[in-house]
Amino acid sequence: MTSVNRKWYSGMATQEDWWAVYLGLFFFFLGLLSIAGVDLVGWAVYPTKWVFNVPEGGKGAISHAFYALGSKYSLTAKAFYKSLGWWSIIWTYVIFTIATCIGAASMKWDLKRFFIGWTIIYFLTIATWFIGHHAFFAANKTNWHQYGLNFALSLGGGASFILALIFGLIIGNFFKGFANYLSVAAKPEWYIKTAIVFLGVKVGYLPIKAAATSAKMGQQMASLTGHLFLAGAVATIVAYLIFWPGIYLIARKMFKLPRKTAAVLGSGISICGVSAAVATGGAVRAKPVVSIMVSALVVVWAVIELVVLPGFFTHIWPGTADPLVAGSAMGMAVKTDGADAAAGDLLDEFMRNKVTAETNGAVVWPEGVITTSAVMTKVWIDMFIGLWAFVLAMIWVYKIDRRPGETVQASEVWHRFPKFVLGYFAAWFIYLGIFFANGAGAPEGMHVLKAAKAGAVPVEKGFRKLFFMLTFMSLGIITDFSKLAEAKFGRMVWVYFVALFCFIIPVAIIIAYLFHHGMQIPNIAGQVAAG
Amino acid sequence: MAEKEAASTSTLAGGEYEAEDVLADAEPWEPIETKLVVWSFIIAGIVLVIGLFIVPTSVLH
């Protein structure tokens, strides 16, 4: 930890973290050009609900199952983007293939294998997106009759996420040779970090979207995201300072694990899984195998949480009464960026569909607010990794291992800082700045906000959802459940199980409740009806 | 170590598992561990109380 002098810019060309920022901000800036009247992102592919037999006067033709988002939102090239239809799949493929291959080459991955793997994963993802949008999966009570159905599962976009995960898990667990081949391109952390930068666009764009209803609604949304920011920060610090020592105690006292293993487990289960386990492993100088074992556990358990928690929070507690408590608790409980943001998005879909169905369409929540609450706490936890690894390194060097003459460089905090967070905040604050700089929803600034919307929607909706889907598929592909069965994992699996379900999740729920109880999501039913 | 971390941070692609037993030979509990745990809980309590007062969406408001 002390012997290697790294420059502040080390890894800028070779780390996934940085490449998530580059990819995310590149497309963010392309989207921003819409303010200048140039629409360069309208080709973003997006699915819509479909059925095999469209009822008379209904909707859901397969020919319209995919469309370019510019065909709806572009102010300058609507006709061109309308002509793309299903071809938007190819446009999106070509442009993102070029972008991701540049990243893969820069990170010195096997480019040929990445290209083939990426191509397979992309088209599998698109196929899954298509299946998941069959009206039987995605339609809800308020609109299933339009597709000629008397019943639908009402899963919204969540069905596609679940299917992507299931298909990925089938590949990862039953076709291991194929999964191994795809692993070069199955990068859930890279995809989700990029999606989180796109989510920054979403958070910044929420007030602009709400301003379409009224200036007051726009300001209300800006205030809500600001409150989520502050509440998420404090909740995360409190949660983490309870999580880590709690897990450490459980591992040391109940399961009699050695100190370093307990420390790595403490960080892995408490913070952000893989990177925290690796960072803490380095800080306390645990054997590399400890970080690897904890990381594997984190990924597998995160997938289990991803499957269980959104349904639990939606249908058992707290339900639609306190959706932001659920979102925030999710952010603190699910231990990888990929699984957390994905679980947050799933929760968002479930909750929005449930509230719309419960109220027969009288209440409609804007998409992405619940996801934002889940990601907000996670982002704060991610920022905490570097600081905590630094604190632990100092305690281990100066107090526990007592290594004479050794020091810990403060620059380690920067090196462990999750860089994709910079992209997330940049995208958020720039769109928020555009909102406030143009009258915060006042009529005289609305033309600029409408132009900003044309570039923001393909990024925050099209690209973000696509990268979420890629994350689910990749997460499934690299998740091998047989690892849990390996004998030497036995005790760690139990530590994780006890810690997660008896400690982390209950504490996360309590803290989320203390800071988010009663927070309301604005109802946009009128806006949807008008649109 | 640093290079290894940089390369491996965030990415899991099915690494190899060494057959070392890192779960055995737990050291005896030492006072410094008590300090670490207790102080962490104390700071959490302090941040919680301050947070409940300053965060406008907390249950105190």
pLDDT one-digit tens code per residue, A250-289:
999 998 888 988 888 888 888 666 666 766 776 677 776 6
Is A243 contained in some domain?
A: yes
Instruction: Please tell me the distance from the alpha carbon of residue A450 to that of residue A430, in angstroms, as a whole number.
Output: 15
Please give the Cα distance from A95 to A100 (Å, whole number). Answer: 9
Local structure of A280: helix, strand or coil = helix
Asked which of A9-13, A79-83, A308-312 is least confident by mean pLDDT, the reply is: A9-13
Give the 3-state DSSP-derived string for A422-491, with helices as H, strands as E and coil as C.
HHHHHHHHHHHHHHHHCHHHCHHHHHHHHHHHHHHHHHHHHHHHHHHHHHHHHHHHHCCCHHHHCHHHHH
DSSP string, A113-161: HHHHHHHHHHHHHHHHHHHHTBHHHH--TTTGGGGT-S-----TTHHHH
Q: Which residue of A has its CA nearest to B35?
A: A245
How many angstroms separate the CA atoms of A432 and A438, rounded?
10
Please tell me the distance from the alpha carbon of residue A351 to that of residue A353, in angstroms, as a whole number: 5
Q: Measured between alpha carbons, how far is A320 from A205 in angstroms, rounded to an integer?
A: 24
Q: Tokens representing A373? A: 């609450």
**3 state SS of A166:** helix
Confidence of residue A316 (pLDDT cuts 50, 70, 90): very high
Tell me which chain B residues have a C-beta less than 8 angstroms from the C-beta of A235.
Answer: 51
Residue A237 and residue B51: Cβ atoms within 8 Å? yes
* Residues 6+ away with beta carbon under 8 Å from B61: B55
Residue of A242, A257, A278 with shortest CB distance to B9: A278
Q: Is residue A11 part of a domain?
A: no
Residue A42 backbone dihedrals phi, psi, to 5 degrees: -65, -10
Please give the torsion angle defined by the CA atoms of residues A173, A112, A19 and A453, in that order, rounded to the nearest 10 degrees: -90
**Which residues on chain A are in Cβ contact (under 8 Å) with B49?**
none
Q: Domain of residue B16: give its range.
A: 2-60
Residues linked to residue A134 through DSSP beta bridges, in sequence order = A50
Mean pLDDT highest for which of A98-107, A253-262, A292-301, A449-458? A98-107
Element (H, E) at A220: helix A215-249
Reported ipTM exceeds the 0.85 cut: no
Alpha-carbon distance of A356 to A361, in angstroms, equals: 5
Contact A183/B13, CB-based, under 8 Å?
A: yes
pLDDT of A520 higher than 70: yes
Closest residue, chain B, to A279 (C-alpha): B5
CA dist A472 and A186 (Å) reads: 10
The nearest alpha carbon in chain B to A296 belongs to: B12
| Pair A306, A335: CB distance under 8 Å | no
pLDDT of residue A278: 64
Containing structural domain, residue A403: 16-205+217-526
List of chain B residues whose C-beta atoms are within 8 Å of the C-beta of residue A254: none
Q: What is the pLDDT of residue A78?
A: 86
H or E segment and range at residue A105: helix A88-106
Can you give the three-state secondary structure of chain B, one letter per residue?
A: CHHHHHHHCCCCCCCCCCCCCCCCCCCCCCHHHHHHHHHHHHHHHHHHHHHHHHCCCCCCC
Q: In this model, does residue A164 exceed pLDDT 60?
A: yes
Total structural domains within chain B: 1
User: Is pLDDT of A131 > 70?
Assistant: yes
Q: Specify the pLDDT at position A459.
A: 93
The SS3 call for residue A66 is strand
- DSSP for A324-370 reads HHHHHHHHHH--SHHHHHHHHHHHHHHHHHHHHHHTTTS--PPTTHH
Residue A9 falls inside a structural domain: no
Best B23, B25, B32, B41 member to test A by mutation, with max A CBs in 10 Å, is B23
Tell which wins on pLDDT, A330 or A267.
A330
Alpha carbon of B24: minimum distance to chain A alpha carbons (Å) = 7
Contact across the interface for B12 and A400, Cβ inside 8 Å: no
pLDDT-derived band of residue A296, with 50, 70 and 90 as boundaries? low
Higher pLDDT residue, A32 or A143?
A: A32
Q: What is the pLDDT of residue A26?
A: 95
% of chain A with per-residue pLDDT over 70 = 87
Per-residue pLDDT at A89: 95
Supply angle C-alpha A294, B33, A396, rounded to 5.
Answer: 65
Q: Which two tokens stand for residue A265?
A: 């487990």
CB contact under 8 A, A282 and B1: yes
Contacts of A514 in chain B (CB under 8 A): 48, 52, 58-59
A450 vs A29, A144, A441, CA distance in Å? 16, 31, 10
Residues A273 and A335 sit within 8 Å (Cβ to Cβ): yes
Which of A234, A253, A289 is opposite residue B17, by nearest beta carbon? A289
Supply the mean pLDDT for chain A.
84
Q: Report pLDDT for A260.
A: 86
Say yes or no for a CB contact (<8 Å) between B24 and A258.
yes
Residue A43 has pLDDT above 90, yes or no: yes
Q: Is residue A212 part of a domain?
A: no
Shortest alpha-carbon distance between residue A278 and chain B (Å): 7
> Which pLDDT belongs to residue A530?
46
Cβ–Cβ < 8 Å for A390, A410: yes
Which residue would you say has higher pLDDT here, A500 or A393? A500
- A-proximal residues of B, 9-28, CB under 8 Å: 9-15, 17-27
Burial-class residue A195 by CB neighbours within 10 Å (0-12, 13-18, 19+): buried
- What is the pLDDT confidence band of residue B17, given thresholds at 50, 70 and 90? very low
Q: How far apart are CA A522 and CA A359, in angstroms?
A: 15
Asked if residues A350 and A156 have their Cβ atoms less than 8 Å apart, the reply is yes
pLDDT > 50? residue B6: no
**Residue A5: Cβ-neighbour burial (10 angstroms; 0-12, 13-18, 19+):** exposed
| pLDDT band of A142, cuts 50, 70, 90 | low
* Cβ-Cβ contacts under 8 Å, A16 against chain B: 9-11
From B6, B40, B47, residue closest to A234, measured CB to CB: B47
Residue A307 pLDDT more than 70? yes
Does A235 fall in a domain? yes
pLDDT of res. A383 = 67
d(CA A69, CA A463): 10
Nearest chain A residue to B52 by CA distance is A515
How many Å lie between the alpha carbon of A116 and the closest alpha carbon of chain B? 17
Flag if B9 and A287 touch (Cβ within 8 Å): no
Q: Backbone phi, then psi, for A258, in 5-degree steps?
A: -65, 160
- Position A295 scores a pLDDT of 67
Considering only A289-293, A459-463, A464-468, B34-38, which range has the smallest mean pLDDT? A289-293
Residue A4 is assigned to a structural domain of this protein = no
**Residues A9-25, mean pLDDT to the nearest whole number:** 86
Token digits for A276?
């925290």
**Residue A185 near residue A98 (C-beta atoms within 8 A):** no
What is the Cα–Cα distance from A298 to A518, expressed in whole angstroms? Answer: 31
Nearest residue of A to residue B5, measured between CA atoms? A278
Mean pLDDT of A425-441: 83
Q: Do A514 and B48 touch (CB under 8 A)?
A: yes
Tokens of A484: 């849990």
How is residue A487 written in tokens?
């004998």
Mean pLDDT of A385-406: 72
